[in-house]
A = this chain, B = another copy of it.
Amino acid sequence: MAKALVISIDGMGGDHAPASVVGGLDLIAKRGRDIRFLIHGDKAQLDTLLDAHPSAKAISEVRPADRALGMDVKPSQAMRQGRGSSLWNAIASVEDGEAAAIVSAGNTGALMAIAMLRLRKMQGVHRPALVASWPTTRGVSCVLDVGANVEADSTQLVEFAIMGEAFFRAVHGTARPSVGLLNVGSEDEKGHEEIRAASVLIRESGLDLDFRGFVEGDDIGKGTVDVVVTDGFSGNIALKTAEGTARQVGGYLREALTGGPFARLGALLAYPSLQKLKAKMDPGRVNGGVFLGLNGLVVKSHGSADAGSFASAVRVALSMARSSYRDEIVAKLAKLTAPTSPIAASLAPDAG
């Protein structure tokens, strides 16, 4: 029998926790093999829910945590006062080597702050990054950083490219994911100095990425590349603007299809098709942002996740835990800092 893969779960994080969490784990338990969950949180509530979900119960162990962090707690408070919370303890299980990954639908800032504090950065990574999966007309792409840092210099952008490419391969199985840098035009001379320099570094560093150069905002939804690399400020604005636009258009559509008897009848006839449309626009379909670049896997589910969405996030954690993404990142980062790389040369004290 293969050794079980252990995933640590923040049982209390998220708008619909713990019910959505246990429900999501049950969906995984019904199909998965050789998996175990450590669920951190309110023992009484979790035990009651597990009694109603025997598949999940069979592979789960509850670890009592006496409190949960609120969705509005600030990262600085979380670091100072988070000890003993379900989130803190769930991360500690990864730190202790008991679990391969942690999944939480709780407060993003708190998750990032505590994970950074306890798990620390991987060797060679200057800034961890938050990667988001993005539904496109061709399938799914990923975008990083979407908010872990507000700025990124050229070397950090190249690190994001390395981490994002390995993430995409791990989760989607693509042998050579394509990579692009988000910019305001596709010509070489466009954009910030940092982005232009990152483009040169990727091309010249022998990293063996399928790098396609610059992409623009409308390329994300087209799926022009698999991995879109940007700083956390632009990435966060792109992500939230896209979410807002999708909601806005969805609202127009609802309005259009309830505006009069013919429209309503039409909507009724087209109902199955419109349900498929709704599913396509559902953010839960590709749920699971990952905080890349730490000594341990940290997966963030949407705060509003239901059981199905939470299960998607757990699947992301399982795919990554079973992949060789960490070794790939380590190998590529080593190239980046090897003495022969142009980046290392440009950073060397005698280069200037």
Whether the Cβ atoms of B238 and A237 lie closer than 8 Å is yes
Residues of B within 8 A of A222 (CB): 244, 248
Determine the chain B residues whose CB is within 8 A of the CB of A62 once the complex forms. Answer: none
CB distance from A306 to the nearest CB of B (A): 20
Q: Per a CB cutoff under 8 Å, which of B151, B217, B219, B247 touches A238?
A: B217
Whether A115 sits at the interface, judged by CB under 8 Å, is no
Main secondary structure of the interface of A (DSSP, over half): helix
Please tell me if the beta carbons of B216 and A240 are within 8 angstroms of each other in the complex: yes
A245 and B273 contact, Cβ closer than 8 Å, known pairs A233-B184, A233-B234, A253-B253: no
A273-314 interface code vs B (CB 8 A; 1 in, 0 out): 110110011000000000000000000000000000000000
Q: How many copies does the complex hold?
A: 2
Instruction: Indicate if the CB atoms of B247 and A150 lie closer than 8 Å.
Output: no
A164 at the interface (CB under 8 A from B): no
A32: CB under 8 A from chain B?
no
Asked whether A125 is an interface residue with its Cβ less than 8 Å from the other chain, the reply is no
In the complex, which residues of chain B have a beta carbon less than 8 angstroms from the beta carbon of A281?
A: 249, 252
Chain B residues whose C-beta falls within 8 Å of the C-beta of A253 in the assembled complex: 253, 277
Contacts of A233 in B (CB 8 A): 184, 191-192, 234
Q: How far is the CB of A296 from chain B (nearest CB, A)?
A: 25
Task: Find the B residue at minimum CB distance from A146.
Answer: B184
Given contact pairs A248-B136, A256-B274, A241 touches B269 in the complex (Cβ within 8 A): no
Assembled-state Cα–Cα distance A232/B184 (Å): 9
Q: Which chain A residues in 256-278 approach chain B with CB under 8 Å? A: 256-257, 259-260, 262-263, 265-274, 276-277
Is the Cβ of A241 less than 8 Å from the Cβ of B268? no
A250 to B273, alpha carbons, bound, how many Å? 14
Our pick among B216, B245, B277 for the contact of A221 (Cβ within 8 Å) is B245
* A241 close to B266 (CB less than 8 A): no
For residue A46, which residues in chain B have a CB less than 8 angstroms away from its CB?
none
Indicate if the CB atoms of B269 and A244 lie closer than 8 Å.
Answer: no
A278 nearest in chain B by CB position: B256
Task: Given the known inter-chain contacts A221-B245, A241-B218, A256-B277, please indicate yes or no for A236 contacting B269, CB distance below 8 A.
Answer: no
Contact B269 A262 (CB under 8 A): yes
Say whether A182 contacts B237, CB under 8 Å. Answer: yes
A348 to chain B, nearest CB (A): 28
Query: Do A263 and B256 touch across chains, with their CB atoms under 8 A apart?
Result: no
A280 surroundings in chain B (CB, below 8 A): 252
Quote the shortest CB–CB distance from A261 to chain B (angstroms): 9
Q: Are B221 and A244 within 8 A (Cβ)?
A: yes
Give the contacting residue for A244; candidates B192, B219, B265; CB below 8 A: B219
Residue of B nearest to A219 (CB): B244
A-B contact pairs, 22 of them (CB 8 A): A182-B237, A184-B233, A184-B236, A216-B240, A217-B238, A217-B242, A218-B244, A221-B241, A221-B244, A222-B244, A234-B237, A238-B241, A259-B276, A262-B269, A262-B272, A262-B273, A263-B269, A263-B274, A265-B269, A266-B269, A267-B270, A270-B270
- Interface positions of A (Cβ within 8 A of B): 74, 136-137, 147, 150-151, 182, 184, 187, 190-192, 216-222, 230, 232-234, 236-253, 255-257, 259-260, 262-263, 265-274, 276-277, 280-281
When A and B form their complex, which 5 residue pairs have the shortest distance between CB atoms, in order from nearest? A217-B240, A266-B270, A218-B244, A266-B269, A217-B241
